[in-house]
Amino acid sequence: MQTSSSSYGKTLIPIARAAISCALGIPEMADESASWLSEQGACFVTLTQHGELRGCIGSLQAHRSLLDDVKNNAVSAALRDPRFKPLSVGELAITRIEISLLSAAQAIKFENEAEALAQLRPNVDGVIFQCGSYRSTFLPQVWEQISQPNQFMAHLKNKAGLPAGFWAPEIMLSRYTVEKWKE
């Protein structure tokens, strides 16, 4: 993305809100004219109500235009996050939107869990955990709730469907950073 991204939020948040509104049958328009929206990008859209999570869906790798990624992930966070019932029209006004634009993921090299944990950067890294078909991620914002690397990793394993104490040589970890904007 070649434009300064500090102002992206002023464009992306209204696009996400309009996409959710339209999916709920309330036509709403947002300015989609910025040229950088056509560049590939990966984002997560997080929905909260009164500070509590209400939905979060995203892409870990850029595979479509940022415009399409934001719109699709916003609608999915509102209607298809399996942890929550679909958002209702009545909830829309109390729902806040946060968009996290991801950097490309970088593999973390390590020999054991202690080495892996020592390389994590709290409040900076989003982490992708993978072991065979088990996979999970936490955005960097999760460090606000889970500040210790060993606990962060334990919860990441649980999210993937594995026990907190699980470790295997096949585990792969990657890190990414985000720029984020919220209402």
DSSP code per residue over 26-54: ---------GGGGSB--EEEEEEETTEEE
In CATH, what number does 5-102 get?
Answer: 3.30.700.20
- Dihedral sign from CA coordinates of 81, 83, 88, 94: negative
The predicted structure's pLDDT at residue 7: 85
Q: Which residue has the tokens 């390389």?
A: 119
Cα separation values, 106 from 45, 75, 131, 172, Å: 21, 28, 16, 11
User: What order do you get walking across the sheet with 178-182 strand by strand?
Assistant: 52-58, 43-49, 95-102, 178-182
The predicted structure's pLDDT at residue 3: 45
User: Per-residue confidence of the chain (183 residues) as pLDDT tens digits?
Assistant: 444 566 899 999 999 999 999 999 999 999 999 999 999 999 999 999 999 999 999 999 999 999 999 999 999 999 999 999 999 999 999 999 999 999 999 999 999 999 999 999 999 999 999 999 999 999 999 999 999 999 999 999 999 999 999 999 999 999 999 999 999
Domain boundaries, the chain: 5-102, 106-180
In CATH, what number does 106-180 get?
Answer: 3.30.1490.150
Largest Cα separation within the chain, whole Å, is 53
